[in-house]
Amino acid sequence: MGWKAGYTFSDERSPTQLRWPNHAVCAVSVVVDLSVPGGSDGIRPADLETTEARYAFDVSLPRILALLEQNGIRATFPVPAVIAQSESLSVERVISRGHEIAAHGLRHEDVTALARPDEAARMDQTIDALSALTGRRPAGWYSLARQKDRFPGGSISANTIDLLMGKGFKYFGNSQADDVPHYLVTDPRRPRKLLALPYSYSCDDQFFVSFPPRPGGTNIERILTLESIWNEELEAMIGTEERPGFNRVVTAVIHPYLNGWGHRLRVLERFLRKISRRKEVWVPTGSELASHWFSINPPESIEIRKSLWRDAPGKVD
């Protein structure tokens, strides 16, 4: 058996004693997922004509952009290639405000079962579509979950990470293996590593603000819980007089098709205002966060020990 094969993506222990720019004690990354609901094949043309899709691009997005601007925050926008093509005016508006555009699949489809050549071709198409719009290759690739997915971690295939390395991506956007950036290792023999940025579904609005109508349920509008979690995570990272902070990264993920008015917008407004005013907080884009990580923990710094993972006797394996 190889290096903890099938078990481990990253090295054994996360680095501590981190330093952030501008004497900040922690970082908050704001991610605005520009996807809209689609099927397992991802977003189809009809999915852009739903009321929630129109709301997302025509009403909600301008308001979210205004909020970000008021608070001087530059966010990271994962954009599926089909959105870059069909909603190019919206995406151009995002670019013009100085936000980062990251790749989010061709159609934000489930790639788990794709053959390697097919997946590679879709990746190329995605890079081309985003490059045509932004004038540069995307640095980051996200694979965020869709709201009705069985698991909230997002989908990758056995080849995704390796393909992203081959295509020169600077970072992968959402891994849950840490609450700071960390390196994903696909082959320990000739170490190929890709930086991953931290993600946790507990800070992603789509799991708090809307649920399928059937079987439905009671009290399923829970954005105030999300607000509480955002604040708790932020305070735990900053620390209090009694307890030092954990000094790490909070990744707040929002979806314009779910969050653009009323109490939800107020929650977002309060959080953005808070992180922009607290001097302990650094608010980088994905690419800025990755660059800083390369400077404090370069890829060579990670420790991949020779396999301690012994084959167990007999039937256990």
In the complex, minimum distance from the CB of residue 311 to other proteins, in angstroms, rounded to a whole number: 10
- Residues at the site binding other proteins, with contacts judged by CB under 8 A: 4, 6-14, 112, 143, 147-156, 158, 174-179, 182, 200-202, 207-208, 211-212, 215-217, 220, 222, 225, 228-229, 232-233, 235-237, 243, 246, 248, 308-310, 312-316
Task: Decide: 99 and 75 in contact? Cβ < 8 Å.
Answer: yes
The answer to whether the Cα torsion of 34, 40, 42, 45 is positive or negative is negative
- The residue among 106, 47, 59 whose CA lies nearest residue 259 is 59
Q: Where are the beta strands (DSSP E) in 92-239?
A: 100-103, 140-141, 171-175, 182-187, 192-198
Q: Quick check: helix, strand or coil at residue 299? A: helix
CB 5, min distance to other proteins, A? 10
Q: Which is nearer to other proteins, 100 or 204 (CB)?
A: 204
Closest to other proteins by CB, 165 vs 236, is 236
Q: Residue with structure tokens 């530059």?
A: 74
Q: In whole angstroms, what is the distance from residue 141 CA to residue 180 CA?
A: 17
* Nearest distance from C-beta of residue 200 to other proteins, angstroms: 7
Residues 6+ apart with CB under 8 A from 162: 186, 187, 192
Cα 17 from chain centroid (whole Å)? 24
**In the complex with other proteins, which residue's Cβ is closer, 173 or 256?**
173
CB of 175 to other proteins, least distance (A): 5
First to last CA, the chain: 10
Minimal distance, residue 238 CB to other proteins, in Å: 10
Instruction: For other proteins, give the closer residue by CB, 115 or 158.
Output: 158
Burial class (CB in 10 A: 0-12, 13-18, 19+), 148: exposed
Least separation in angstroms between residue 49's CB and other proteins is: 24
Closer to other proteins at the Cβ: 12 or 58?
Answer: 12
Q: 21 or 153: whose CB is closer to other proteins?
A: 153
What backbone torsions phi and psi does residue 200 show, to the nearest 5 degrees? -140, 135
Query: Which residue's CB is nearer to other proteins, number 126 or number 147?
Result: 147
Please, what is the minimum distance in Å from the beta carbon of residue 124 to other proteins? Answer: 22
CB of 316: closest distance to other proteins in angstroms?
6
Burial class (CB in 10 A: 0-12, 13-18, 19+), 261: exposed
- In DSSP notation, 11-78 reads -SS---S---GGG-SEEEEEEE------BTTB--GGGGSSHHHHIIIIIIHHHHHHHHHHTT---EEE
Q: Which is nearer to other proteins, 145 or 290 (CB)?
A: 145
